[in-house]
A and B are shown apart, each in its own frame.
Chain A
Amino acid sequence: MKAPLLALAVLTAVPAAAQIAPGAVSFQPVERDRDFRRYDTIWNFTYELGGAIGSFSQYISAVSPVGFNLEGRSKVTRRLSVGLTFGFNRYSQTSDLASLALDNGGTASGPLYRYAHFLSPRLTAHYYFLDQSVQPYVGVGLGAVWSFAYQRVADLEESDSGFHFASHAEAGLYWSLALSDSRLALTAAVRYTFTTVSFAQVQNAMMLSGLLGVAWQI
């Protein structure tokens, strides 16, 4: 009879203890932790409008309307996330009259067509200043970039491609549209990108760009 009596004692003691001191030992998550878990994964899809700066701007001065980024972020604390982004940018320009130094020492002048493609995966880290519907942040990215640059005058063409180092720093914000277990947000950011991509007269191609997109925070 000892075992049934012991089980009965335990079954009656636990609810009794809970009734006596309901706040003494709580297994419910505090509000702060619950928010952290609710939005700890962020998916971004952004459109990027970029402009070359530095020596790259002397190669292609036109603004690039073709740029996209897909990024996933995971919160490691309430205010800090790490992630991975994939970006693509295309810069191109046609000049009615430009001069091009040829490999054999000659010079060509005429209508000149140039483009440069950048495909870049980068690890990212972001810090969030606020935890509310408008959420400003700053972030950095480090990774690699595959570049392909091409220029052509008449039937004379030159190209260059390779893998290089790439990094960026950015500041932006999220603006939440709906709050629930997951939320949709608009995002905008300004980004400075530095790479070690060098070709023709370009040394360490750099860009300054604006990003607009949507984010799904889960």
Chain B
Amino acid sequence: MNGIVVLTQDSPSTDFKALRTFALPTQVKLVAQTPPSPKDWTADVPNLLSAVEANLVAKGYAKHTGTATSADFGVTVSAILGTEEEYFTGVWCDYCFWYPGTPYCGAQCSWDFSYIGDYRYGTLIIELHEFTAPPPGAGERVKTHWSAALYSVLPDTGYDAAKAKDAIDRAFAQSPRVAR
């Protein structure tokens, strides 16, 4: 089957109207790839992050300008490449995301909603998560509010920036609970 598939799931226990500000990372983390590759996805990163930011602003949230961890929630954007990858909410938790001036490393995430699908390659993952200060240590948990998996937006060849932006827009559009 051809085409881009977007899967989204939000935490039933999150009150999205109570959240106000978000912190946006500066990079797209490459979570897995076969064969191994550098740790960051580099293509079109500013536009990908801008699209995420624009959707969150359109939903009524404000971009946090101070220390990232004082924002109401953080945003992570990840790329999954390779084959037969299986994604569960909170996959980023073994990695560090760089917010402006602030590394934030996941140690062990928690989520009160379930696995949302299988993915093979070329998938962009967007997650909204809570911040804890200080960052979680071993055995500590971080709550994930919302996950989106954008299947087939990062192909091996022929990356299409317009399609990637459309998929990001669709992810937020099909998540009506994620709004102030």
Interface residues of A (CB under 8 A from B): 96-97, 99, 102, 104-111, 113, 152-156
- Among B1, B3, B115, B118, the residue within 8 A (CB) of A152 is B1
A-side binding surface: helix, strand, loop or mixed? Answer: strand
The 5 A-B pairs at the shortest CB distance, nearest first, are namely: A110-B5, A106-B9, A111-B3, A154-B5, A104-B114
A104 — which chain B residues lie within 8 A by C-beta?
9, 113-116
The answer to whether A102 touches B116 (Cβ under 8 A) is: yes
Known: A104-B9, A155-B117. 14 other contacts (CB 8 A): A104-B116, A107-B8, A108-B5, A108-B6, A108-B7, A109-B6, A111-B2, A111-B3, A113-B1, A153-B5, A154-B5, A154-B152, A155-B120, A156-B7
Q: How far is the CB of A58 from chain B (nearest CB, A)?
A: 18
A121 to B113, CA, bound (A): 44
- Asked if B46 is an interface residue, CB under 8 A from chain A, the answer is no
A99 — which chain B residues lie within 8 A by C-beta?
174
Could you tell me which residues of chain B, from 44 to 89, have a CB within 8 Å of some CB in chain A?
Answer: none
The answer to whether B7 touches A111 (Cβ under 8 A) is: no
Q: How far is the CB of A56 from chain B (nearest CB, A)?
A: 23
Number of interface residues of B (CB under 8 A): 22
Our count of residue pairs bridging A and B at CB distance below 8 angstroms stands at 58
Can you name 25 A-B residue pairings with CB atoms under 8 Å?
A96-B3, A99-B174, A104-B113, A104-B115, A104-B116, A105-B12, A105-B113, A106-B7, A106-B8, A106-B113, A107-B7, A107-B175, A108-B6, A108-B7, A108-B117, A109-B5, A109-B6, A109-B170, A110-B3, A110-B4, A110-B151, A111-B2, A152-B1, A154-B1, A154-B152
